[in-house]
Structure 1
């Protein structure tokens, strides 16, 4: 979908302490460190949200969406309303709600927020916050996938009309639900999370998925590459640009093999246009990679007026999204 007057007007991010990863992880996927935080996911979302709201002028949003991949700290509770209360301190004339597209949450959240702005003239601003923490007691951050290591972090953005830091040109998404079993394996539906009893080892579920037959690692890679290429080409075409013309094309923060085979080769990317090295330092920040990346580009002065930026999101399930922006 093409957008005419949707702008990112403020961004923010939060990170913990960068700690080295085990040698076997760095030797395999190239990640050198990951972010460790004592703050819960919603607290990281608040820290990032404060920065984004301040940058946008502290105008009350009419919609707030809070994203997370992992457990937000309390069962049967609205993390989004807590984040909104901490940030805004007053009632919203609209919704505060929780979303998750797993690792695609940032880009999917942008598309959803932009679509609401495009279809609701009465809606002035949208606040997106994302926060994830992966404590050792609940999940083994180094056993999620051989090609990533999880980092703790928060990220946020404020969207509005008229002007801003980035103009959103277009978004495209698609979903391939037949491969949701990569994250499920042969796990039964349970009454409560087994993470309370010991750390989750998610890589085990992937092995179970392939052992069940019907899908091979090569076929999943094919599905992944096809999904990535489809949404990138569609979004770029609607934005009137191309991968070659974009100053930045930013996939998720993944390790060397996943980056090369899932993004660099299929899209013909130059590594120095991707923030690949940043991801090797922070780790994969759950649902927050792409909003974190936008804030990084701004803080480090890495974009100039007219630069095109493509955010390429992939989440378990699998969902694929691409958002194309232009720096103001």
Structure 2
């Protein structure tokens, strides 16, 4: 079963449930900043649970003028993007696409319908939606940020990033030494490393910028830690996107991307620095005697059982997973 059609009553109910059941994050995109009082109440409850709330609105920036409901929130971030025209609401597991605004939750008055996409049923659609949300958020203007909301500029200092960024040789970087906050490629060109994390420390994406523009391959990861897609840029311009399809044997992904996912999963499960993790790295050097936890995590994500047969290195894990997925 994939996407689920929602009636007006179902849409209102699912929006309410989506907020109530969020554990890590809520991301709501809506052109209008008018919020029904029930939404504000649910936001307050989520804020008390330390759920990160991102609210992006559009149309007129001045919509926020005169509103006071948000001022005491600790985990809320409000942004503005003048090109936003869609209502898209999600938490870490589900997403709703609808014509229903956040002030229109009375199905007896409004006949707005929607579509519910769940990560477990339709992972590609869900992650494509997350990616498009993140693009809008990246280019949006911040209007408000609660005191507990982790600011990107506080967590993306080049010296901290380069000490943790994995797989540098894949990107052609041989030396972690920074020159004015940049790393030097063998060509002599300088690039700014960039990496963002999910709330539990799992890498969300990594890549490099050239003259403040994304350049080369940017790796985007799922919340579970595995590579969702690789987007290729040239001086900030989008060139191509490689979607990692773990379910289609006719479209095998690169073994490098499997390795990246395993390494990021190690970071998620064990909190280890994976900057030196590569194919020949011994698994137990990062997992200790608890490597079965990594095996189970990987098998659950890939929706396969009994993939691994006593692998010693990450190369063994990659090869065994690749064999099961693609033959």
- Normalising by structure 2, what TM-score? 0.27
Higher RCO structure (Cα 8 Å, ≥6 apart): 1
Instruction: Flag the structure with larger Rg.
Output: 2
Bigger helix share: 1
Bigger strand share: 2
- Normalising by structure 1, what TM-score? 0.27
